[in-house]
Structure 1
Amino acid sequence: MKTQPIQRTSLSEEVYQRLQQQIITLTLAPGQKLNDQQLAETFGVSRTPVREALKKLEEEGLVVTKRGSRTNVTMLDATQARQTFPIVATLHALAARLAFPLSEADITRLIELNQAFQDAIMHEDAETALQLDDAFHGLFLKRSQNGQLADTLNRLTPLIRRLEYAQFSRHGHDSVTDHRTIIEACQNGRIEDLVRATEHNWNGLGRHLIASLEEDTPCDPS
């Protein structure tokens, strides 16, 4: 059996993951032009996997193709964030509900993750901090054992993660406190408190980030 199509798909996926990470971390800045030939040379691949990756990123709303096949990283969008954060908050709250109750080992792990998260914030290490935040909420997602929930969040999260990078220095400390409230709800066996605290964490973050974006972000150039 020929394996080349599988290899090509895997190559496209690798390019997609690298580009997505660069967009999320603002290595590729909002509005930046993307040239498929230059990207192909950078990654050492043909233009085909790059084009496939860009198409997937466009479907996710992270890049946009304009007239003349010009592709740009999408601008940070307050309207998009305003629509996305409540959905993400509700889904994470559902994951917490489905995961409840957590084991003592899981609660200990949450405490460790939040301490490391706080340390990363103190050192202004945005990439590590947000990876730890993913791990914190990811524990609930894993324990929920709901693949559809995980797939939906994996699709939506990149739309808001780069906004967190852009505004990281302003709001990281609030999430540490929210995480402690989530942990306390788990320790006390209070599922409704856990659900409310989880939803509050994401919605509160969304409100702060959207307000900051509206203050700081210039209009999308045509």
Structure 2
Amino acid sequence: MPIPRGTPAVDRTLLRDDVYRRLRDAIVEGTFTPGEQLKDGELAEWLGVSRTPVREALLRLASSGLVVALPGRSTTVSAVDAPAVRDARDVVAAMHELAVREVTGRLSDRDVERMREANGRFAAAVSSGDVGAALDADEELHRIPVVALGNHAIEAVLEQFGPLVRRAERLRFDLDGQASTEQHERLIDLIAAGDAPGAAAVAFEIWRSLPAEPEG
């Protein structure tokens, strides 16, 4: 397994959640690719931690569907499985629909403005062909209503299933993002107008319309 170079080791007091997020992001972003074997010793050396938090993180990643763990044998990055992605996408869509429905009418003007700013960054990233920045801005935009609501059950579900959807999305991201930008604008306008049913429907459609199949 090739280990990325030039990434600084993290502090040895790194929390288990931080180890999990570093490994999760490496898979979602394609640093570790489908079928690649992940060795806990090498990962621990890369991150500058002991093997214990790495092993715990790999178990969490297995429950999210990002890795396949065979106890006593090996752990590999999972293939992009269309049915699994479709199931995760539908759950994620339902969670965003619920969050938007519940928070509309209570979201602050500043949070609405932050969503508009994130959509501006999304549009700029799409125009420049920066897939990573576009997906980061998209993630930021949709996370604002979720965080504002403060429903930890919704956040936990999105934490588990969101990365599987994001990895599939990254693999087939369409750089013609005009339609997505316009959907975001409609969502934000409906939230700002206090139209909870309308905003929730748009939020659901944004996520539910993501293809489950990777390109090619």
Same fold (TM over 0.5): yes
Contact 2:14–2:49 at 8 Å: present in 1 too? Answer: no
TM-score norm. by structure 2 comes to 0.85
Report the equivalent of 1:57.
61
Report the equivalent of 1:162.
167
Report the equivalent of 1:151.
156
Contact 1:97–1:195 at 8 Å: present in 2 too? Answer: yes
Report the equivalent of 2:22.
18
CA distance in 2, matches of 1:140, 1:71: 35
Report the equivalent of 1:121.
126
Contact 2:126–2:176 at 8 Å: present in 1 too? Answer: no
Report the equivalent of 2:89.
85
Which amino acid in the other structure matches residue 166 of structure 2? R
CA distance in 2, matches of 1:67, 1:154: 24
Q: What whole-Å deviation, never above 9, does each CA across 1:43-69 have from its counterpart, x for those lacking one? A: 233333322221221122211124861
Q: Please tell me the root mean square deviation across aligned C-alpha atoms, in Å.
A: 2.2
Which structure shows the bigger proportion of residues in helix conformation? 1
Quick one: structure 1 residues 9 and 87, their matched pair in 2 at CA, closer, same or farther if it must change by over 3 Å?
Answer: farther
* 1:92 CA drift (Å): 0.2
CA distance in 2, matches of 1:103, 1:51: 41
Q: Secondary structure at the match of 1:72?
A: strand
Task: Indicate which of 139, 147, 150 corresponds to 1:142.
Answer: 147
TM-score norm. by structure 1 comes to 0.83
Q: Secondary structure at the match of 2:31?
A: coil
Point out the more displaced range, 159-168 or 12-21: 12-21
Q: Secondary structure at the match of 2:143?
A: helix
Identity, % of aligned pairs? 36
Contact 1:120–1:129 at 8 Å: present in 2 too? Answer: yes
Rg larger for: 1
Contact 1:185–1:191 at 8 Å: present in 2 too? Answer: yes
Contact 1:61–1:74 at 8 Å: present in 2 too? Answer: yes
Runs of 4+ in structure 1 off by over 4 angstroms are 7-11
Contact 2:35–2:76 at 8 Å: present in 1 too? Answer: yes
Point out the more displaced range, 28-37 or 74-83: 28-37
Contact 1:124–1:169 at 8 Å: present in 2 too? Answer: no
User: Which ranges in structure 1 are unaligned for 5 or more consecutive residues?
Assistant: 1-6, 217-222
* 1:152 CA drift (Å): 1.3
Question: How many residues in Structure 1 have an aligned counterpart in Structure 2?
Answer: 205
Contact 1:9–1:49 at 8 Å: present in 2 too? Answer: no
* 1:14 CA drift (Å): 2.9
User: Which ranges in structure 2 are unaligned for 5 or more consecutive residues?
Assistant: 1-10
